[in-house]
């Protein structure tokens, strides 16, 4: 029996199709201090067109964030 091990960490996944932003780009931005979706949008264009990527981009940003901080930024109203 042959076992093939695939290292998925080597591959990037497109999160934002409209602006060709990958998960790797988002993680790099987070490592460089980007904390909100608004900041990511300004920097990469992610979520500035159709917005279908917003939830996943926010989740990826949150992976690098300590608990308790606002992950959506000031451009989202809370009712």
The residues that touch ligand FES, with contacts defined as CB under 6 A, are 16-19, 46-53
Question: Token digits for 33?
Answer: 């201090």
First to last CA, the chain: 57
Q: What are phi and psi of 49, to 5 degrees?
A: -115, -95
Distance CA 71, CA 24 (A): 18
Q: Is 28 helix (H, G, I), strand (E, B) or coil?
A: helix
Give me the least distance between CB of 21 and ligand FES, in Å please. 7
């Amino acid at each position: 029996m042959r076992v093939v091990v695939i290292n998925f960490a080597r591959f990037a996944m497109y999160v934002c199709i409209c602006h060709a932003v990958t998960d790797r780009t988002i993680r790099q931005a987070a490592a460089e201090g980007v904390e909100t979706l608004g900041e990511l949008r300004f920097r990469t264009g992610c979520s500035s067109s159709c917005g279908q990527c917003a939830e996943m981009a926010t989740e990826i940003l949150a992976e690098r964030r300590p608990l308790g901080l606002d992950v959506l930024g000031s451009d989202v109203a809370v009712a």
